[in-house]
Structure 1
């Protein structure tokens, strides 16, 4: 388990937003650090989020869909450590991936000043969703997390798992986690130009989006974010990748920042928001078959 003392107050360049408005402030809730919305670009175009590192900056519409995080908010109000369980391939703790839990914890503590964050990383390289779902019960019983951050879909796509079977396993697992009053943030598959026209691969990406919307959980749109960053670099996606679909140090740092941004903004969602209502997802992905496109909402 990665555990450290919380970082000091965030720099003055970030503006503090009080969690839960005035009632939470009266209860002594900690500050959630979040800069103002980025200014619009020429002709109203959306600018990249300035809270991210320059090399990781992506417009919000290409980075996340948001929903409430009740369990994390409760931990903050109770002023106790926030326990995070990270699962998925880059949580496996081998090679460069071993640094991901530290990067995620550091990014979270910068956004949640004076809060102790405990990140427990339990990923397995090559694990598909159904395998992770089978292990979840034991992991949850042992760690008792407030939040599960689940990178999912990349290895299912590489293993050519049947799309509906993948979606069913993911949906069931998310429902089970939520039934135990634990929050979930999903992170969809990585992007590579070689897979961008693969209808099967993009249907897996779309399925993760559908589950996130149906179950009312935040989604980190890693696929779209990496596609955006690849297009803005003369190195394509290569500057974020190592070998064998594994993110390099920069890719892991950007993902930690992206996950943290989705968590921070989801914490600012009002308590009156309706859970389970499908959130906006990516516009139809190139190469997605008609079945994968059904029911998706364009941003």
Structure 2
């Protein structure tokens, strides 16, 4: 079955307040129900950065973070939508984005990129999207787990907050890979280290099943439009998670 999975790697990776905070009700298509808001962990470094109206952000990821594999443009990818959302919700906030996303990069390559950036830059927050490449290629789950643990330790040593985002939802991957093994590894590592986790897989499945944002069942001519909407929803969900776990927004908002 592996020979059928590998040629589709690129396509699958493309699937993508009050006080100081501005009001910004989430549209129906971007719902994050209460049961998805038990993120785990806190973000004290981010809380300090938000109070100072500046945030240096490092995004680690694969093709979906690039925004050039399914989206209409790189600016519609979820990292850029996250920046737009959090700047909108925290007036006056200046975000510096360091983007390290590359097609085919797995957790080990991303962990190395993390160490390299932290050796030269003062970073407030790392958003680490990973796990899809490993599921697609059938990589060793324990090797992925060890790379995650090492990256989290490096961030903590540098005094940098970190959040994780798990794999994208894909019926093909669910049927042809052991994706739940990798999802479980990420969940356990996040919980064991007190790292907030955005359940991208579950959210994308919810949006596909209930809201029609279904990348695998979208006609070719509408794929970029749907991908842009999914990435906008992911950026919004990430912004709300970061604001909630940093204490800038109540959990029920």
Alignment TM class, shorter chain as reference: 0.7 to 0.9
Q: CA deviation at 1:144?
A: 1.9
Corresponding residue to 2:74 among 70, 92, 98:
98
CA distance in structure 2 between the aligned counterparts of 1:241 and 1:258, rounded to whole angstroms: 25
Q: Is the 8 A contact 1:130 1:169 kept in 2?
A: yes
Q: How far apart are residue 269 of structure 1 and its match?
A: 7.9
Give the drift of 1:236: 3.7
Partner of 1:294: none
* SS of residue in 2 equivalent to 1:142: coil
Residue 145 of structure 1 corresponds to which residue in structure 2? 123
Deviations 1:170-225 (A, max 9, x none): 11111111111000010000011223355611111111111111111111100010
Task: Give the number of the structure whose residues are more often helix, by fraction.
Answer: 2
Structure 1 equivalent of residue 18 of structure 2: 16
Runs of 5+ unmatched residues, structure 2: 1-16
1:257 — aligned with what? 236
Alignment of 1:62-141 (within 5 A): 62=36, 65-77=39-51, 79-89=52-62, 90-92=64-66, 94-95=68-69, 96=71, 98-99=74-75, 100=77, 101-141=79-119
Q: How much has 1:141 moved relative to structure 2?
A: 2.7
In 2, Cα distance between equivalents of 1:214 and 1:269 = 24
Aligned to 1:46: none
Cα-Cα RMSD: 2.7
Q: Which residue does the alignment assign to 1:285?
A: none
Normalising by structure 1, what TM-score?
0.68
Higher relative contact order (CA 8 A, sep 6+): 2
**Poorly superposed stretches of 4+, deviation over 6 Å:** 239-242
- 1:218 correspondence with 2:192: no
Q: How does 1:1-299 map to 2 (within 5 A)?
A: 15-16=17-18, 31-33=20-22, 51-62=25-36, 65-77=39-51, 79-89=52-62, 90-92=64-66, 94-95=68-69, 96=71, 98-99=74-75, 100=77, 101-197=79-175, 200-234=178-212, 236-238=214-216, 248-268=227-247
Distance 1:205 1:108 in 2: 27
Residues 1:141 and 1:227: Cα distance change in structure 2 (over 3 Å): same
